[in-house]
Amino acid sequence: MEEEIRAEFQSSGFSIGGASPEDAAQILTTLLTYCINYKMSPADLVSNWEVYYLNRQLDGLKLESSYLDGFLSHLQNEVKDRIIKEEANLHIYSSNDVDMLLSNSHADEVAFHDTPGSKQEKPPEESSNSELTPLTSDRPSSSRVAKTNADRITPFATRVNKFTQQYVLNADNAVSVPSKNAEITEDEVIRRIQPSQRCSLQVQHSQPEPGCRFMYDRMEDRFNYLEDRIRKSASLFSASGFCGEPADATLASEEKMFAVGTVACDGEGHLNEKSISLQGGVQHSRGQRVRLDLKDLDHFSLFPGQVVGIEGHNPSGHCFVASKLIDSILVSVDAQLPSAKKQAIDNESNQNSDAGTLSRALSSVIAAGPYTTTDNLLFEPLQELLSYACHKQPQLLILSFHDIFHFEILRKIQDFTQYLGNTVRVILIPSVRDAHHDFVFPQPAFDLNLPEDITHQITCLANPCLFSSNEIHFGCCTVDILKQLSGEEISRKPPVGKPGDRIGRLASHILKQQSYYPLYPPAAGVPLDFSLAKEALEISSAPDVLILPSDLAPFVKVLSLGEGSDVQKRFICVNPGRLAKGIGGGTFVELYYNEGIDKTNATIIRI
């Protein structure tokens, strides 16, 4: 049919061109999609193109890819006008009717149990799912819309390279049951990870609570937040024994001194080596700033709001010449806990070890929104992800949202949990990009009215949060702090040594600063409420897995803190990417944590 489309355009004097033959083939594929979606013949398509061409007064007789978006809008308007003329009493849907538009329950149930590339019969118990998802409307036109959605061909549905692996961490680890045969069949690959039992779940930190009062922070809250971070860091530096007592960096002195404060920009625009200043705390320097001279440092990595310890001298009283910079002091978790709480944790861990029931092994799937493409509200990427999870059967499914979270999404997740039974847990974490939720950071958890039979399977946590499953600690923050730090950080690489990992360095700053959002002032568009930030953003203990969804390229990295010291901490940092990107698919991460990082396997998969 593509050749028929090409012939029709040529008979009308138009040519389909591009920079390469591949571009022309892509244009023909897009035009074929238009014919199928809008039920047009090649002749009808060319007739519509001629109308669009004349109305827009386009130059030349070549149809190029830059014209396709405008031509698509023209076709949509033509189809809408034709339907209105054919059905005079037709209801024109608005955003209030989006639930009814997407109430294609039959098509969703069929697609839900499909494999990513094949069909599967529906289980007998599937009929009970319909009780959870009643149709929102009995209008006759809803069936017509449902049929249209089921038959529609979208760019996402016609994508290639489905469920391909982009990156594998520790690919040599034997995380699956070994096959007796030399060859591994597709079914064995799909069912490598089978949950033997229901995983445990403990929430260590999830604040603020739903319904909290927000966006009433005062200047005093900002001051207390920054001062508290400086004071805590100064205490850690002093207790470590590696540094002297903090002094006032603004005082003129030829003697070496040690100062603690936050990095600030002494000027407009982004931070640079000429505009770096150190703002001390009230206790030691009355909150005053002093310019920093970093010429004697062979390497550093700084950003606004970072709390650092600096050793040097201030000969003139106006510029502090740094000779040594310390950006963190890693201490053990036990050192930060009160003795009573430490004893309680020790008793609990001893009981768990005696029982022998908990194992530090967990299979999980991690994804971040958006969960639908920009050209429709069919939520095809979410449907494909849940179908994949049905076959892999992870113990834990972690979803960071970035969508219009409504009846359609919740219904799909309810069906997923009921289909897999009690062996699966789902964790839902909000995002400041959610259109339906509180626009504040830190962000309270979703307040959902779930059916009683699945409340133990679906858990809603705040943004950010800290939780553990099977004694594996997870930390998650859905604000794109990596991208924001990337735009504000300045660094100097050491003259010798291996090239640095910039993304890994940015991720390490989160744990080094013991804050999910150490950047100050916050980036534009981040509704940071300082009255809630003091407790909610603090990272009291370093997690085993740090989840930081970002628009940057997806990655899974093993990072280390405290290298060269007595206390070291290795952790896995995960950026699953976005499940949907534009009109196409994105990525997600499948993680199998097995006792320790060296035996852990993680895979970045393109949806």
Tens of pLDDT, residue by residue over 251-305, are 988 899 999 999 999 888 889 888 999 999 988 888 899 999 999 998 899 999 9
In angstroms, the CA 569 to CA 511 distance is 10
| Residue of 417, 423, 428 whose CA lies nearest to 459 | 428
What is the pLDDT confidence band of residue 191, given thresholds at 50, 70 and 90? very low
Cβ(461)–Cβ(206) below 8 Å: yes
What pLDDT, on the 0 to 100 scale, is given for residue 436?
A: 81
The set of long-range contacts for 497-500, using a CB threshold of 8 Å and a minimum separation of 24, is none
Kindly state the tokens that stand for 417: 């949990």
Return the residue matching tokens 């999404």: 409
* Residue % of the chain over a pLDDT of 90: 38
Q: Which helix (H) or strand (E) holds 264?
A: strand 253-265
Pick from 169, 163, 309, 177: nearest CA to 236: 309
Sign of CA dihedral 145, 146, 148, 152: positive
Read off the pLDDT of residues 513-566 as tens digits, 9 standing for 90 and up: 999 999 999 999 999 999 999 889 999 888 999 999 999 999 999 999 876 566
CA gap 262, 281 in Å, rounded? 8
- In this predicted structure, what is the pLDDT of residue 557? 94
User: At 408, which helix (H) or strand (E)?
Assistant: helix 407-420
Q: 606 by DSSP, 3-state: which? A: strand
Q: What are phi and psi of 566, to 5 degrees?
A: -70, -30
Closest by CA to 527, choosing from 437, 447, 404, is: 437
Taking residues 40-59, report their average pLDDT.
86
Interhelix angle 105-112/141-151, rounded to 10 degrees, is 30
Q: How many CB atoms lie within 10 A of CB 318?
A: 10
Kind of pairing between the strands at 361-368 and 396-400: parallel
How high is the pLDDT of residue 56?
A: 82
Q: Which CATH class is domain 243-326?
A: mainly beta
d(C-alpha 372, C-alpha 374), whole Å: 7
Integer Cα distance of 309 and 137 in angstroms:
63
Tokens 């990513």 belong to 116
- Give 55's pLDDT tier (boundaries 50, 70, 90): confident
Domain ranges in the chain are: 1-88, 164-176+196-214+358-493+501-606, 243-326
pLDDT above 70: percentage of residues in the chain:
78
Q: Where are the beta strands (DSSP E) in 343-500?
A: 361-368, 396-400, 425-429, 458-460, 465-469, 472-476, 490-492
pLDDT score at 516: 96
pLDDT in tens, 99-139: 544 554 444 444 455 545 444 444 444 433 333 333 333 33
HSE value, Cβ hemisphere, 13 Å, CA-based, for 500: 16
Which of 46-50, 290-294, 452-456, 586-590 bottoms out in mean pLDDT, i.e. has the lowest? Answer: 452-456
Cβ neighbours of 314 (radius 10 Å)? 23
CATH number of the domain located at residue range(s) 164-176+196-214+358-493+501-606 in this protein: 3.60.21.50
pLDDT value for 490: 93
Q: What is the mean pLDDT of the chain?
A: 80
pLDDT tens by residue, 485-521 = 999 999 988 877 667 789 999 999 999 999 999 999 9
What is the spatial distance between Cα 101 and Cα 56, in angstroms, rounded to a whole number? Answer: 32
Least confidently predicted of 150-159, 163-172, 222-231, 469-478 = 150-159
Q: How many CA atoms lie within 13 A of 212 on its CB side?
A: 24
Alpha-carbon distance of 7 to 295, in angstroms, equals 68
Under the banding of pLDDT at 50, 70 and 90, the label for residue 224 is: very high
Report whether 355 contacts 565 (CB < 8 A).
Answer: no
Residue 165, strand partner residues: 605
**pLDDT grade for 168, boundaries at 50, 70 and 90:** very high
Res 312: pLDDT = 93
- 6-20, 186-200, 373-387, 472-486, range with the lowest pLDDT: 186-200
* Amino acid found at 392: K
Can you give the pLDDT at residue 339? 52
Residue 301 parent element (H or E):
strand 300-302
Of the two residues 210 and 351, the one the predictor is more confident about is 210
Q: Tell me, what's the pLDDT at 405? A: 56
Number of H helices, E strands in the chain: 17, 24
CA distance 92 to 395: 43
SS3 507: helix
| More reliable by pLDDT, 485 or 147 | 485
Whether the predicted pLDDT of 481 surpasses 80: yes
Lowest mean pLDDT of 59-63, 165-169, 264-268, name the range: 59-63
Residue 30 scores a pLDDT above 70? yes
pLDDT at 325 over 50: yes
Residue scoring higher pLDDT (330 or 149):
330
Query: What's the gap between Cα 200 and its chain centre?
Result: 23
